[in-house]
Amino acid sequence: MNHALRRVSLVVLGMFLLLLINVNYVQAFEPPFLAAQQDNARVFAQQFQYQRGSILTADNKTIAESVHVKQGIYSYQRHYPDPQVYAPVTGYNSLYSNTGIEQTEDKYLSGTAPQLTVHNLIDLVTGKPKRGASVQLTINSAAQQAAYNALKATGLPSGVVAIQPSTGAILALASYPTFNPNKYATFDGAQLNRIDSAYRNDPRQPLLNRAIEETFPPGSTFKIVTSSTAFATGNYNPDTRVYAPTNLKLPGTTHQLINYDNLPCNDGTNPTGNGKVPLIYAFTVSCNTVFGNLGMHLGDNALRAQANKFGMNDPNLTIPLPVAQSNYPPIPNNDPALTAYSAIGQYNDTVTALQEAMFSAAIANNGNLMAPYMVQRVIAPDLTPLVTAQQTSMGQAVSPTMAAQVARMMVSVVQQPYGTAHLAVTSMTNYTVAAKTGTAQNGANNTGLDDAVFTCYAPVNNPQIAIGVIVKGGGLGADASAPVAVKILQAYLSSLAKR
Amino acid sequence: MSAVATPGEPAGTGQLAAARPDATGSMVPMPRGRRQTELAMLAFAVGVVLFAYANVGLGLNGHIPAGLVTYGIGFAALVGIAHLAVRRLAPWADPLLLPLAALLNGLGLVMIYRLQQSGRNGNPGNVIYGMTSSTATFQLIWTALGIVGFVAVLALISEPRVLQRYTYTLGAVGLGLLALPALLPARFSEVPGTGAKIQVAVGGFSFQPEEFAKLALAVFFAGYLVAKRDVLALAGRRVLGIDLPRARDLGPVLIAWAASLLVLVFESDIGTSALFFGLFVVMLYVATQRTSWLLIGGALFLAGALIAAKLFAHVGERFTIWLHPFSGTNPSHAAYQLVQGLYGLGYGGVLGTGLGHGQPYWTPLVQSDFIITAFGEELGLTGLMAILLIYGLIVERGLRAAVAVRDPFSKLLAAGLSFTVALQVFVIVGGVTRLIPLTGITTPFLSQGGSSLVASWMLIALLMRISDTARRPAPQPIQEEGMTQVVRGR
């Protein structure tokens, strides 16, 4: 029987070899696949067992941190010191999912990024607990706080973004109404689900990031693009006299394009309401008829090409939060009437608040549009920098000459007593500001409340901040949105002065 | 492996040769029983277990568990008693089996304590399903009963051949134990939540008769096959170079096959069914040395499995879970347990999280069927391979005893018992690591549950009894010459 026994031994050896090979496969090769599974509770729970990295503003204010607690299996709980102010930036970090910077920078914050492998290994060997890397943002706490307060003061759904024109660094990014990410930091799964569904079912949509995730009609702020398109032809400058009817007849329709409150476009040289005014005057008082007519002459394709140069129609923009595409879609059959509406930002063109800021930022930076970004650097637990942001250009939106021409018109909007932003801006700040207001009609047959849109930069001679504001249902851009922008630039520029 | 553990030991029956008188007529020293080796390795096993226990406390709470000393003394005393019993009752037994079993038993205790401490989903307030707040204590009591069973087997069975007398008695007992849960109403026999009718539960106390049926049936198979092996080895027709048995001799294997299928159908226990059938076929092969029995057995098993998969939804589902655990809603429903176990293994990776640092509590039944995934998670691939090698060593020492012992009954019994350990480990570890379809059976020595633990200790005692017989020096003649030799027993 020993012969058979030796064979059985070989079979047994084979069985154990199979087991050993299989566990080697499962534990040495399969872990990345297993960890990537959606429902792997261990991976989610694990991140609360060690200290996740903090999120800091550019001026070193902590806006998200892991606090040591002892709740069952969890050792660290996420805490947001100013939850609502920074919610659109940080997002939340819950048991099951992340949003915002918590999501996009998760591999650094959680310490799983490849660059951190050596740090983790050293910590393991030296017996230090594992920690995630910190993420420092470009956000300025003064600007961000002012932004949130100003939006909250409007009481309306609204979003704002502020950019440093020379770098693309995002100085503020706020949305209202917003949510409290601390509520997502609970370890109670049932409670978490209740909170999440309450936020999701809230008609005010607090989880929606109105600075970058929702688009609105740009209204008259789009006249920056229309003017730029005109200057690019070489046939126009701010002093070119352009046709300025009181009512613009739209070809192929019975509609007539009119100005705000059906006013004539008259600087004193156009008493008949059928003559011409300088382009800069039309821009300053925001004559729809002038720009509608101009748009029809320039054509849909030229307008869209210029819009693209300002960053519109880009589905892949990330800051690193994904940004909704600002649209300037092709107009069916190049219809001139619809082109006229598009040229004043009232047809299918829609923009994010970030896009509004990018209009001004490009003009402020001599036409060079810097790619907006929010993560300045990633700092390893031992304080060595891991990643530092690289500033990149998205290209010349307009030539420096054209930028200066548009800038001159935007300054005029604020400085001329008849400019649409004159009162709103000069009454509130001593900083020199260049701006464009917009009042976008809304809803079916324009029965909805107008959206207030505003884009600006300051100071004029040395631009430090460019801002885009959208207040849904805010009425006139100058009334609802301009004060928001001014409060932000006031807060930011005075914080620079103190430094 | 064995060369390291027992250096210089002659293979097989070499001990007998070593005891022969040399040319001058003086006696060479008796072969050593290697009890000192056993004691040293036992101390090492106890040390590893206590280290692991301290580790759990440090991992979970940051301090060494308060009960370390009493626990250590208790565990050391239990294995110490086993060791003393071996010294007295089986002094020539293999020195590796007891330390290996003690190490596994101790690690199982540590893991069950660790799981009890962390609670369901990691909340110490909720006990893991199937555990209570005193499961670890009960497991220690079961360990003590296991040692009692171990000593009792060594004390009551002085020679393996004694068991041969009870071949048919034990066969009847084994079948009775196996059939018992199927005959009882489900409320007494069904394991809650699994649908498997494999236990006898009265009050708060439950036991799984199949664990003991395994031992009884191994004895029965050995006795039966030793008696019938000459007939069963007779060649019938020769097909494709393989001698097929005669058709009329197929009876026993068909009966075993039918019995295992009945277990499967009436108790919904695929693992046990596979285990018993595999045990029978391999013992049949060893007894007859006819490869054809292995082929016939394998074919019957595959046919049975496929038919069962078609006929019974719960068997077919096992195949689906095995092949597609991650597709559709399987990860959160049908394959939840398997997938959680795999997540645990993946989370542990090569080096493991360390005891107390993993999250094994997400996996349902992690304290019993899936305990190997808890070890894989916290001790990593490294620790899991070490545990598999410990099992491999136990099987190897058992087979070595089978090779060494001269009596055919003992040989068959040792082979059968060793092979059940191998097969059981293969079925459960292969199942939870997705090598083969998952069937729930206990992991010897590690899983929560008293029946399995006591039966495993009795199995080790039987193997040690057989190895003691194999390694015992031949009787020494009292006088050198003469017509009549008076021989002395041991």
Contact of A348 with A329, CB cutoff 8 Å? yes
Among B286, B288, B339, select the one facing A8 at the smallest CB separation: B286
Question: Can you say how many angstroms the Cα of residue B55 is from the centroid of all Cα atoms in its chain?
Answer: 27
B388 contacts on A by Cβ (under 8 Å): 16, 19-20, 23
Q: What is the DSSP letter of B31?
A: P
Answer yes or no: is pLDDT of A287 > 60. Answer: yes
Q: Which of A82, A228, A210 is nearest to A157 (CA)?
A: A210
Query: Which among B346, B361, B391 has CB closest to A27?
Result: B346
Chain segment B133-171, per-residue pLDDT in tens: 888 889 999 999 999 999 999 999 999 989 999 988 998
pLDDT of residue B28: 46
- Lowest mean pLDDT across A472-476, B206-210, B399-403, B481-485: B481-485
Neighbouring CB atoms inside 10 A of A241's CB total 14
Report percent pLDDT > 70 for chain B: 84
CB B282 within 8 A of CB B411: no
Q: Is A26 on the interface with B (CB under 8 A)?
A: yes
A219-375+392-498: which CATH topology? Beta-lactamase (3.40.710)
Q: Which helix (H) or strand (E) holds B287?
A: helix B270-288
Question: Phi then psi for A485, rounded to 5 degrees?
Answer: -60, -40
- Residue that the structure tokens 């330390």 belong to: B99
Chain B residues whose CB is inside 8 A of the A24 CB are: 381, 385
Cα separations in angstroms, A253 against A260, B119, B451: 20, 74, 90
For the beta carbon of residue A127, count every other beta carbon within 10 angstroms: 6
Burial class (CB in 10 A: 0-12, 13-18, 19+), B70: exposed
* Cβ-based neighbour number of residue A409 at 10 Å: 24
Q: Can you say how many angstroms the Cα of residue B452 is from the centroid of all Cα atoms in its chain? A: 8
- pLDDT tens column, B385-425: 999 999 999 999 999 999 999 999 999 999 999 999 999 99
Pairing of strands A55-56, A134-137: parallel
Amino acid at A256: Q
pLDDT at B17: 42
B431: nearest Cα among B312, B360, B345: B345
Question: How far is B313 from chain A, CA to nearest CA, in Å?
Answer: 26
Instruction: Tell me the per-residue pLDDT of B439-456, one tens digit each, with 9 for 90 and over.
Output: 888 899 999 988 999 999
Q: What is the pTM of this model?
A: 0.70
pLDDT recorded at residue A56:
94
State the pLDDT confidence band at B234, using cuts at 50, 70 and 90.
confident
Interface test with A, best of B2, B399, B412, B421 (most A CBs within 10 A): B399
Long-range own/partner contacts, residues A197-204 (CB < 8 A, 24 or more apart):
A204/A157, A204/A177
pLDDT-derived band at B199, boundaries 50, 70, 90: confident
Q: How many CB atoms lie within 10 A of CB A368?
A: 20
Give yes or no for a cis peptide into A177 (omega within 30° of 0): yes
Instruction: Say whether pLDDT at B1 is over 70.
Output: no
Per-residue pLDDT band for B375 (boundaries 50, 70, 90) equals very high
- Cβ-defined contact of A31 to B349 (cutoff 8 Å): yes
- CA-nearest residue to B394 within chain A is A12
What residues of chain B lie within 8 A of the CB of A19, using their CB? 388, 425-426, 429-430, 433, 435
- Which two three-digit tokens encode residue A432? 């020199």
> For residues A356 and A453, is the Cβ–Cβ distance under 8 A?
yes
* Range of A191-205, B217-231, B243-257, B379-393 with top mean pLDDT: B379-393
- Rounded Cα distance between B120 and A277, Å, is 78
Residue B295: is its pLDDT beyond 90? no
Chain A residue numbers with beta carbons less than 8 Å from the beta carbon of B345 are 23, 26-27, 30, 34
- Could you tell me which residue, A376 or A47, shows the higher pLDDT? A376
Beta bridge pairs of residue A137: A375
d(CA B352, CA A6) in angstroms, rounded, equals 35
Q: Read off the pLDDT of residues A368-418 as tens digits, 9 standing for 90 and up.
A: 999 999 999 999 888 888 889 999 999 999 999 999 999 999 999 999 999
pLDDT digits (tens, 9 = 90+) for B13-67: 444 444 444 444 444 444 567 899 999 999 999 999 999 999 999 888 888 888 8
Omega of the bond leading into A181 within 30 degrees of 0 (cis) = no
Helices vs strands, H then E, count in chain B:
17, 4
Name the more confident of A63 and B305: A63
* In the predicted structure, residue B122 carries a pLDDT above the cut 80: no
**Average pLDDT score over residue span B460-481:** 83
Q: How confident is the model at residue B253 (pLDDT cuts 50, 70, 90)?
A: low
Cβ(A417)–Cβ(A266) below 8 Å:
no
Provide the pLDDT for residue B258: 77
The pLDDT, as a whole number, for residue B403 is 93
pLDDT category of residue B333 using cuts at 50, 70 and 90: confident
Task: Say if A499 is an interface residue toward chain B (CB within 8 Å).
Answer: no
Q: What is the CA radius of gyration of chain B?
A: 24
Phi and psi angles of residue A318, each rounded to the nearest 5 degrees, phi first: -135, 150
Chain A residues inside the 8 Å CB shell of B376? 23, 26-27
Does B197 have pLDDT greater than 80? no
| Residue A408 exposed, middle or buried by CB count within 10 Å (0-12, 13-18, 19+) | middle
Mean pLDDT computed over B280-293? 86
User: Distance between CA A430 and CA A459 in Å, rounded?
Assistant: 10
User: What interhelical angle do A83-90 and A141-154 show, nearest 10?
Assistant: 110
Residue A482 DSSP SS3: helix
Q: Lowest-confidence range among A169-173, B227-231, B469-473?
A: B227-231
Q: For A86-123, what is each residue's pLDDT tens digit?
A: 999 999 998 878 899 999 999 899 888 888 877 777 77
Report the 3 state secondary structure along A141-194.
Answer: HHHHHHHHHHHHHHCCCEEEEEECCCCCEEEEEEEECCCCHHHHHCCCHHHHHH
Q: Which residues of B fall within a CB distance of 8 Å from A26?
A: 342, 345-346, 376, 433-434
Strands A170-176 and A158-163: antiparallel
User: Any CB–CB contact under 8 A between A153 and chain B?
Assistant: no
| pLDDT attached to residue B485 | 61
Cα(B415)–Cα(B405) distance, integer angstroms: 11
C-beta separation of B451 from B181 below 8 A: no
Q: Please compute the mean of the pLDDT values over residues A447-476 and round it to a whole number.
A: 88
pLDDT of B12: 42
Residue B487 pLDDT: 64
Q: Which of B384, B408, B423 sits opposite A23 (nearest CB)?
A: B384
> What is residue B204's predicted lDDT score, i.e. its pLDDT?
64
Per the CB < 8 Å rule, is A28 touching B381?
yes
Average pLDDT in chain A: 89
pLDDT for the residue B177? 87
User: What distance in Å separates residue A284's CA from the closest CA in chain B?
Assistant: 60
Q: A29 in contact with B at a CB cutoff of 8 Å?
A: no
Q: For residues A124-147, give the mean pLDDT.
A: 87
Task: Provide the mean pLDDT of chain B.
Answer: 84
- Provide, rounded to the nearest whole percent, the portion of chain A with pLDDT above 70: 98
Q: B124 burial class (0-12, 13-18, 19+ CB within 10 angstroms)?
A: middle
Name every chain B residue with its beta carbon within 8 A of the beta carbon of A34: 342-343, 345-347
Give the residue from B232, B402, B448 showing the smallest Cα distance to A12.
Answer: B402
| Burial category of A311 from C-beta neighbours within 10 Å (exposed 0-12, middle 13-18, buried 19 and up) | buried
Select the more confidently predicted residue: A450 or B265.
A450
Selecting from A5, A15, A30 the residue whose C-beta is nearest the C-beta of B422 gives: A15
Indicate the domain borders of chain A. 219-375+392-498
Query: Residue B225 contacts by C-beta under 8 Å, 6 or more apart in sequence?
Result: B232, B283, B284, B287, B288, B412
Interchain pair B347, A35: CB under 8 A: yes
pLDDT band at B486 (very low <50, low <70, confident <90, very high): low
* Domain spans, chain B: 2-18+31-471
Compute the nearest-CA separation of B286 from chain A (Å): 5
**What would the mean pLDDT of A204-208 be, rounded to a whole number?**
93
Contacts of A452 (CB under 8 A, 6+ apart): A438, A439, A469, A470, A471, A474, A475, A476, A477, A478, A479, A480, A481
Of B285, B331, B376, the CB nearest to A23: B376
Catalytic residues of A: 220
What's phi and psi for A396, nearest 5 deg?
A: -75, 115
